[in-house]
């Protein structure tokens, strides 16, 4: 088998090697059960201990209060774009902030169910900054405010959130959950697809305050009602069992290295090194010029020449630095440096950027 590469993919993203090794060890026989977690009944006591353990570890990592439910769902964060308005739009109104591809999709989906106001947007500038938000624009009768914490494609990220005037704040944290310390009490609901900072694709984590559950529209399909899953402990139907098991291993691994405060320090260090290399180069520039708005997870950058971009990507791949292509909307390159990307991977990329800059 060839050596492992440094994988800068935006998602599915890199997973901690310790997690992959442990999963490999347990693949044929989990905890003396004589079978793989993949083959195990989700109604068994053994599997119940896995899903309970995953929830317990996530609650500890994020300090989730007892009045919030933790749900392990399917359908990706994109399914939440419909579930949120179906469950939370009591008055048929919601306010959204548009900062990228996923918030655009969330807005489009919510418009099927009610009156959506886009309070702020940076779309005209291809989302290369966060829009300024006038808090007076939030409507008194809106059912909730929706935001996206970190924009995977465009590389922007909220460091603080606006005062939403007591409205429930719902945030898509798919690409930066567990990357930095947050106070869950500041949010009515947090949701995230697993495939960037939690585990493999197929699991979606929803952390929702209990007082928001039980108000779904009458026409809401059973599987799209939060109450269905909250009442059944995420076991209404067969959950993505193996994905939840891998998420549990990931949560426990993160706890073992000091939890979110410890990984935040490492993430800040990795991002600073990479931004520094790009900002001090002659060839490269970041998509996001305003340093306040920059993400510590996703860093899109490019040269002024498509040929140079292609050359950079081809030569980087030969060095074992892979999946660095930018999204089609930004072009160029994008380095996603999630929790599981080791410091050494970023150091190697930084050295390569400097070498490429000098040679070209």
Residue 30 makes CB contacts below 8 A (sequence gap 6+) with: 36, 37, 40, 46
pTM here is 0.97
Axis-axis angle for helices 259-279, 241-256 (nearest 10)? 90
Active site residues: 102, 172, 196
Q: What span, in angstroms and rounded, lies between the C-alpha atoms of 243 and 199?
A: 7
**Residue with tokens 């409507």, as numbered in its chain:** 139
Place 1 in a pLDDT band, splitting at 50, 70 and 90: very low
Q: What is the CA radius of gyration of the chain?
A: 21
Q: How far apart are CA 264 and CA 247, in angstroms?
A: 19
Q: Give the pLDDT mean for 114-140.
A: 96
pLDDT tens-digit map of 297-351: 999 999 999 999 999 999 999 999 999 999 998 999 999 999 999 999 999 999 9
Q: Which residues pair with 101 in a beta bridge?
A: none
pLDDT in tens, 197-249: 999 999 999 999 999 999 999 999 999 999 999 999 999 999 999 999 999 99
**Spatial distance between the Cα atoms of 246 and 231, rounded to a whole number of angstroms:** 24
Digit-coded pLDDT (tens) for 42-70: 999 999 999 999 999 999 999 999 999 99
**Burial track 26-54 (b if 16+ CB lie within 10 A, e otherwise):** eeeebeeeeeebeebebeeeebeebbebb
Domains of the chain: 18-256 (3.40.640.10), 259-359 (3.90.1150.10)
Over range 250-278, report the average pLDDT. 98
CA-wise closest residue to 113 among 141, 140, 83, 137: 83
Residue 184 burial by CB count (10 A; 0-12/13-18/19+): exposed, middle or buried? middle
- Give the model's confidence band at 2: pLDDT under 50 very low, under 70 low, under 90 confident, else very high: low
Antiparallel, parallel or unpaired: β 145-148 and 115-121: unpaired
Q: What is the token pair recorded at 170? A: 């719902």
Q: Is the pLDDT of residue 131 over 50?
A: yes
The answer to whether 342 and 270 have CB atoms below 8 angstroms apart is no
Per-residue pLDDT reduced to its tens digit, 143-167: 999 999 999 999 999 999 999 989 9
User: Among candidates 3, 100, 60, which has minimal Cα distance to 248?
Assistant: 60
CB 103 within 8 A of CB 131: no
Residue-level pLDDT at 34 = 97
| Pick from 170, 191, 177: nearest CA to 73 | 191
Backbone φ and ψ of 87, nearest 5°? -100, -30
Look over the chain and give the mean of its residue pLDDT values, rounded to a whole number: 97
pLDDT of 19 over the 80 cut: yes
What is the C-alpha to C-alpha distance for residues 346 and 288, in angstroms, rounded to an integer? Answer: 19
pLDDT reported for residue 49: 98
Q: What is d(CA 40, CA 179) in angstroms, rounded to the nearest whole number?
A: 31
Which among 347, 353, 351 is positioned nearest to 303, based on CA atoms? Answer: 353
Mean pLDDT of 10-33: 97
Residue whose pair of structure tokens reads 């317990």 in the numeric block: 56
Average pLDDT estimate for 186-207: 98
Select from 342, 345, 54, 339 the least CA-distant residue to 180. 339
Averaged pLDDT for residues 258-280: 98
């Amino acid at each position: 088998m060839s050596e492992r590469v440094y994988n800068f993919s935006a998602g599915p993203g890199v997973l901690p090697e310790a997690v992959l090794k442990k999963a490999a060890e347990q693949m044929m026989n989990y905890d003396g059960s004589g079978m793989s977690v993949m083959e195990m009944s989700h109604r068994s006591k053994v599997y119940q201990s896995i899903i309970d353990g995953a929830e317990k570890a996530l609650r500890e990592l994020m300090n989730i209060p007892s009045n919030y439910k933790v749900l392990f769902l399917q359908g990706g964060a994109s399914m939440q774009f419909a579930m949120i308005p179906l469950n939370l739009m009591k008055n048929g109104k919601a306010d959204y902030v548009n900062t990228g591809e996923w918030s655009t999709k969330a807005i489009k989906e919510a418009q099927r169910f009610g009156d959506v106001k886009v309070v702020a947007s940076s779309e005209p500038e291809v989302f290369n900054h966060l829009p300024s938000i006038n808090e007076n624009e939030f409507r008194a009768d809106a059912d909730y405010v929706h935001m996206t914490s970190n924009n995977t494609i465009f590389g922007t990220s909220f460091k603080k959130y606006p005062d939403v005037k007591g409205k429930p704040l719902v945030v898509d944290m798919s690409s930066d959950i567990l990357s930095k310390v947050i106070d869950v009490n500041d949010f009515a609901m947090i949701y995230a697809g697993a495939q960037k900072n939690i585990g493999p694709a197929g699991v979606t984590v929803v952390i929702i305050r209990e007082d928001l559950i039980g108000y779904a529209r009458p026409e809401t399909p059973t599987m799209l009602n939060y109450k269905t899953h909250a009442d059944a402990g995420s076991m209404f139907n067969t959950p993505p069992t193996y994905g939840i098991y891998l998420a549990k291993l990931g949560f426990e691994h993160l706890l073992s290295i000091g939890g979110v405060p410890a990984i935040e320090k490492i993430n800040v260090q990795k991002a600073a090194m990479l931004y520094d290399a790009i900002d001090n180069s002659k060839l490269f520039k970041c998509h996001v010029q305003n340093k306040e708005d920059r993400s510590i997870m996703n860093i899109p950058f490019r040269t002024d020449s498509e040929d140079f971009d292609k050359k950079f990507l081809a030569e980087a791949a030969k060095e074992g630095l892979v999946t660095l292509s930018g999204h089609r909307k930004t072009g160029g390159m994008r380095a996603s440096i999630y929790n599981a990307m080791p410091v050494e991977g970023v150091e190697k990329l930084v050295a390569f950027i400097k070498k490429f800059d000098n040679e070209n």
